[in-house]
Amino acid sequence: MATKNPYIHWLQYIPARLVAMLLGLFPVNANLGSARLIGSLWWHAMKKHRVRAMTNLRASFPEKSEEELTDIAKRSLQHFMELVMDTLFTPHKIHIETYHRYVHLNGLDESLRHMLRGNGAIMITGHYGNWEVLGFTMATLGFETYSIARPIDNPHIDQWVLGVREKRGQIILSKRGVTASAEDVLRRHGVLAAIADQNAGPKGMFVPFFGRLASTYKSIGLWAIEYQVPIIVGYARRRGEAFAFDMGISDIIHPADWKGKPDELRYITERYTAAIEKFVRADPTQYLWIHRRWKSRPKDEVTGSVAGVG
């Protein structure tokens, strides 16, 4: 349970800022090496996360050996620590004059043209690669995007991270005092961004993800149908072990694609989930396998068939 004690919040925030200041004295790529070391220690120290990652991977890649899966799981934790480190350096590295040194745009022409028309769109990604760099780069390029994000429990750290996220113009809808809603953004033909591989609980729509049903929020598909906007599924994948990324599009789902389908909402949800799976398969080490994606199960699922996975 998250603490509400203001003293605990300050005791968490002040050391975090001091560590960030110290890390700023060293080159980003050196710090990424330290992040991988921390990720390796995390792998050995946290049995719960190690077991969860391996359980998810065994079910998702039954064709891979235990040695391969262990390597993916360990690298996934290292990658997550790299992502945390990236966040500290992103505002200093990515500017309109310098972004091309660190972010390589691959096949974004159609999606960027659509966004330039000002007709509205929903941009989604998963817990993959560096989703923070994805949103930050789009804002740096001048695209005003509104991102749905859960507030961090510690208000001081939350405000700090918000400052990073909004440095180039990205607007976070979770920010305290922001009254705009997702519907307001789409009604004004804006661009709404979200991470779309969250577990949606027992009331979500269950669609295939790596061969198993995963509870998925209906809201993205419902918004797309109501406001007749495309869904752009993208990613920012790390290149090697440096602060460098490939930013690309896995799929664009246009309103014409779902019109006439027997179940438009299911078609949309299954298709964008498949698009997320596609880029995760391209490099599974960059997915957050400790994420409890398969926690909720369908009511009619046989008890124990995949219970405990996720």
Per-residue pLDDT tens digits for 5-16: 788 888 787 887
Strand, helix or coil at 19? helix
Candidate from 6-20, 60-74, 84-98, 258-272 with smallest mean pLDDT: 6-20
- Check pLDDT > 90 for residue 24: no
Residue 2 confidence class, pLDDT cut points 50, 70, 90: low
Asked if residues 214 and 273 have their Cβ atoms less than 8 Å apart, the reply is yes
CA–CA gap between residue 208 and residue 274 (Å, rounded): 8
Answer yes or no: is 302 within a domain. no
Answer yes or no: is 263 within a domain. yes
Residue 264 confidence class, pLDDT cut points 50, 70, 90: very high
CA–CA gap between residue 54 and residue 73 (Å, rounded): 6
pTM: 0.89
CB atoms within 10 A of CB 126: 27
Residue 148 has a pLDDT of 84
Residue 306 has a pLDDT of 44
Answer yes or no: is 67 within a domain. yes
What's the whole-number mean pLDDT along residues 45-49? Answer: 96
Answer yes or no: is 274 within a domain. yes
Answer yes or no: is 136 within a domain. yes
pLDDT digits (tens, 9 = 90+) for 115-158: 888 889 999 999 999 998 998 898 899 888 888 877 778 787 77
Q: What DSSP assignment string belongs to 162-206?
A: HHHHTTTS-EETTSTT----HHHHHHTT-EEEEE------TTSEE
Handedness of CA 255, 169, 110, 99 (dihedral sign): negative
Answer yes or no: is 246 within a domain. yes
- Check pLDDT > 90 for residue 302: no
What's the whole-number mean pLDDT along residues 171-190? Answer: 75
CB atoms within 10 A of CB 178: 11
Amino acid code (one letter) for 122:
I
- Across the strands, what pairs with 215? 206
Q: Using CB atoms within 10 Å of the CB of residue 165, give its burial: 0 to 12 exposed, 13 to 18 middle, 19+ buried.
A: buried
Q: What are the backbone angles phi and psi of residue 292, rounded to the nearest 5°?
A: -85, 60
Answer yes or no: is 307 within a domain. no
Which domain, by its residues, includes 22? 6-286
Q: What are the backbone angles phi and psi of residue 245, rounded to the nearest 5°?
A: -140, 150
Answer yes or no: is 29 within a domain. yes
pLDDT digits (tens, 9 = 90+) for 208-232: 999 999 999 999 999 999 999 999 9
Strand 231-238, strand 245-253: pairing: antiparallel
Residue 301 has a pLDDT of 79
How many separate domains does the chain show?
Answer: 1
Residue 168 confidence class, pLDDT cut points 50, 70, 90: low
- Check pLDDT > 60 for residue 1: no
Residue 79 has a pLDDT of 96
Q: Of all residues in the chain, what percent carry a pLDDT higher than 90?
A: 65
Question: Of 7 and 182, which is predicted with more confidence?
Answer: 182
- Check pLDDT > 50 for residue 55: yes
Residue 3 has a pLDDT of 60
What's the whole-number mean pLDDT along residues 61-90? Answer: 95
Candidate from 67-71, 221-225, 294-298, 303-307 with smallest mean pLDDT: 303-307
Residue 179 confidence class, pLDDT cut points 50, 70, 90: very low
